[in-house]
Structure 1
Amino acid sequence: MPLYMDVHSLGDGVTMDDVAKAHQADLATQGDHDVNYLRYWVDESKGQIFCLVEAPGPEAANTVHREAHGLVADAIYEVQEGS
């Protein structure tokens, strides 16, 4: 299944705690869409969130975000994992 990195630019007020709650909502919702959210990173100072996800396509990944908490990504990039 393709691997994607999505980017959310939310501005001030992004906290690790809030993102952890949103990630848990993604995990609770993802099964209905054949999506697997793997990891996330947060830059609180810039208000950015980055999510790594396996999905059949970028819209499926965004659908999970939309249904889980409403915070859809600003950009989604197909990526390949390296070491």
Structure 2
Amino acid sequence: MDVHETMPEGATAADVAGAHAEDLRVQGQYGVHYRSYWVDETDGKIFCLVEAPDAETAARVHRESHGLVADRIFEVVEGS
């Protein structure tokens, strides 16, 4: 799970949707799967759920697809 602490100035949820679409376009090259994202427009935060070989590879997809690299990446394990 990655966290973008501050949305770019003037960005909207629609802009985040476009960035996510770019992640989906690039992710296959690196064995990454950006599964979902959430936008908190009030606090200006973005959260992305991603499956990746490691945190750096997840960040690489963001960097190459749109340049908006997460401030923090948490490696988590799915529960039931």
Equivalences for residues 41-56 of structure 1 within 5 A: 41-56=38-53
How much does 1:13 deviate? 2.9
AA in 1 matched with 2:55: P
Alpha-carbon distance in structure 2 between the residues aligned to 1:51 and 1:76: 9
Q: Which runs of 5+ in 1 are unaligned?
A: none
Residue 36 of structure 2 aligns to a residue whose secondary structure is strand
> Where does structure 1 differ by over 4 angstroms across 4 or more consecutive aligned residues?
none
How far does the alpha carbon of each residue in 1:4-60 deviate from its partner, in whole angstroms, 9 at most, with x for none?
x00002245331100000000000000111100000000001110000000000000
Matched pairs, number? 79
Q: 1:82 to 1:14 in 2, by over 3 A?
A: farther
Say yes or no: does 1:8 pair with 2:4.
yes
TM-score normalised by length of structure 1: 0.89
> What is residue 74 of structure 2 aligned with on the other side?
77
TM-score normalised by length of structure 2: 0.92
Residue 29 of structure 1 aligns to a residue whose secondary structure is helix
Q: Which runs of 5+ in 2 are unaligned?
A: none
> What is residue 54 of structure 2 aligned with on the other side?
57
Residue 73 of structure 2 aligns to a residue whose secondary structure is strand
Alpha-carbon distance in structure 2 between the residues aligned to 1:43 and 1:50: 8
Residue 75 of structure 2 aligns to a residue whose secondary structure is strand
